[in-house]
A and B are shown apart, each in its own frame.
Chain A
Amino acid sequence: MTGLPPIPGALRTAVARDGEPVVYVAREQLLAAMRWLKETPGQDFNYLVDITAVEYRDRELPLEVVYFLRSLERRADIRIKIELPPTEDMVVDSVYSLWHGADWLEREVFDMFGITFRGHPDLRRILMWETYAEGNPLRKSFPLRGRFSRAEQVRQALNANPEAHYSMEELSIAEAGNDLPEDMRDRLRRGERGVIPEPPNI
């Protein structure tokens, strides 16, 4: 590969150890680059495999947000990296508008690294509970055992009420049965054998 690929905002390229091409993209151009990769004929990187982030041990080096893309038709892979210098605020545009599968992936990066995704519809912690106050566990500045004492961690965990932190959408799933078509609701009520159990005759 000579020169820069025609990806919007491409800064430089590299080759990963396994031979996959890596393209560093300017942070402001991320959405344009992703849309170009997804929608340009001949590129067709239509599958978002993963989003993750890297923090290097050298504190001077920037954090990287890594996007793994794959073209299912062409069977080609590419990695897109965004660099976040440690002096700047860690905000990246969300790619949720292009791949809805980015929802939980971005939430995980937000939870573990504290990187904010602008435009994400529901940016909450996903692995740690929502009231978790010790920071972002995968950052290098995070001590392995967490910041609080074990007793405090146990206390906070026991006081976390799992049901209290469901989103409105998750809560509404319980009500979603009412939105099903009538025949489907009827089938669910009847069960596999198609018999509505009689109430006990007392």
Chain B
Amino acid sequence: MKHVEQVQSSNYLLAKFQNLVDWAVNSSRANSLWPMPFGTACCAIEFMATAASRFDFARFGMERQAFSPRQADVLICAGRVPFKLAPVIRRIYDQMPQPKWVISMGACASTGGIFDNYSMVQGIDTVVPVDVYVPGCPPRPEGLLYGILLLHKKIKGESLFDAVRRRDEQPLDDKGLRLPPDTIDEISEPFGNSVHQFRSS
């Protein structure tokens, strides 16, 4: 509650109404996230480990995993996404009610990882907007927990009164892309150990 200034007597608080509302709403949202797991590969195993008793992300309010996008806040994409699944994850994202966030878990979901080939989406941020990227191949449960806590931090910094923050993500045009084509090409450029390969080779 950094916006709430405590005055000399501890019996009352002075704050802007907006900040109080934001604090109440954001705390509620951040501490009761309902994740929608979209597990496609080995990252989903680490996701399950994170959900299970030893690491237990229910401690952070994620008690209820929603296997329906219509009752979920946060889409956790754990694993590689082939182009064939791109319309599926896009539709799942579109079905989630606002406010909604996306965690991209692992190297493959974030960048395509080692699958730099014809069939794999090079980062799900070319298909849906992503809030938190969790690196790792696969990330340890601690990594995912850290990503979830970062998302909490992000949510607590949002404001109900800022219309720009939570505007619905719309595709650019009827082509279905949400980023300009040259941006997509740029962020899915070859990297790492595959820089010596080119599209024409």
Residues of A within 8 A of B (CB): 128-129, 134, 137, 142-146, 149-162
Within 8 A of A (CB), among B162-193: 171, 175-177, 181-182, 184-185, 188, 190
Q: CB-CB < 8 A to B88: which residues of A?
A: 162
Given contacts A150-B188, A158-B176, A159-B87, 13 further A-B contacts (CB under 8 A): A129-B84, A137-B118, A144-B117, A146-B199, A154-B126, A154-B127, A155-B177, A157-B83, A158-B90, A158-B177, A159-B176, A162-B84, A162-B88
**In contact, A158 and B185 (Cβ under 8 angstroms):** no
Q: CB-CB < 8 A to B9: which residues of A?
A: none
**In contact, B86 and A143 (Cβ under 8 angstroms):** no
Among A142, A151, A153, A158, the residue within 8 A (CB) of B87 is A158
Interface status of B110 (Cβ within 8 A of chain A): no
Interface status of B11 (Cβ within 8 A of chain A): no
**In contact, B118 and A144 (Cβ under 8 angstroms):** yes
A151 to B83, CA, bound (A): 11
Interface status of B8 (Cβ within 8 A of chain A): no
A153 to B56, CA, bound (A): 38
**In contact, B118 and A151 (Cβ under 8 angstroms):** no
Interface status of B10 (Cβ within 8 A of chain A): no
Tell whether A152 pairs with B181 under 8 Å between CB atoms, given A143-B200, A146-B118, A157-B83.
Answer: yes
Interface status of B53 (Cβ within 8 A of chain A): no
**In contact, B176 and A150 (Cβ under 8 angstroms):** no
Q: CB-CB < 8 A to A150: which residues of B?
A: 122, 126, 184-185, 188
A153 to B190, CA, bound (A): 15
* 23 A-B contacts (beta carbon < 8 Å): A128-B84, A137-B119, A142-B118, A143-B199, A145-B117, A146-B118, A149-B199, A150-B185, A150-B188, A151-B177, A151-B184, A154-B184, A155-B181, A156-B83, A157-B84, A158-B86, A158-B175, A159-B87, A159-B175, A159-B176, A160-B87, A161-B87, A162-B87
Q: CB-CB < 8 A to B126: which residues of A?
A: 150, 154
**In contact, B83 and A153 (Cβ under 8 angstroms):** yes
Q: What is the distance, in angstroms, from B121's C-beta to the closest C-beta of chain A?
A: 7
Q: What is the distance, in angstroms, from B166's C-beta to the closest C-beta of chain A?
A: 23
Among A144, A146, A149, A157, the residue within 8 A (CB) of B86 is A157
Interface status of B116 (Cβ within 8 A of chain A): yes
Tell whether A145 pairs with B84 under 8 Å between CB atoms, given A137-B119, A154-B177.
Answer: no
**In contact, A157 and B182 (Cβ under 8 angstroms):** no
Closest chain B residue to A153, Cβ basis:
B83
Among A128, A142, A143, A155, the residue within 8 A (CB) of B175 is A155
A158 to B199, CA, bound (A): 21
Q: What is the distance, in angstroms, from A23's C-beta to the closest C-beta of chain B?
A: 34
Among A144, A151, A153, A160, the residue within 8 A (CB) of B182 is A151
Q: What is the distance, in angstroms, from B137's C-beta to the closest C-beta of chain A?
A: 20
Closest chain A residue to B90, Cβ basis:
A158
A154 to B121, CA, bound (A): 7
A134 to B119, CA, bound (A): 11
Q: CB-CB < 8 A to B116: which residues of A?
A: 144-145
Within 8 A of A (CB), among B90-131: 90, 116-119, 121-122, 126-127
Nearest 7 CB-CB pairings of A with B: A146-B118, A151-B181, A158-B176, A157-B83, A151-B184, A150-B188, A157-B86
A134 to B122, CA, bound (A): 17
Q: CB-CB < 8 A to A153: which residues of B?
A: 83, 118
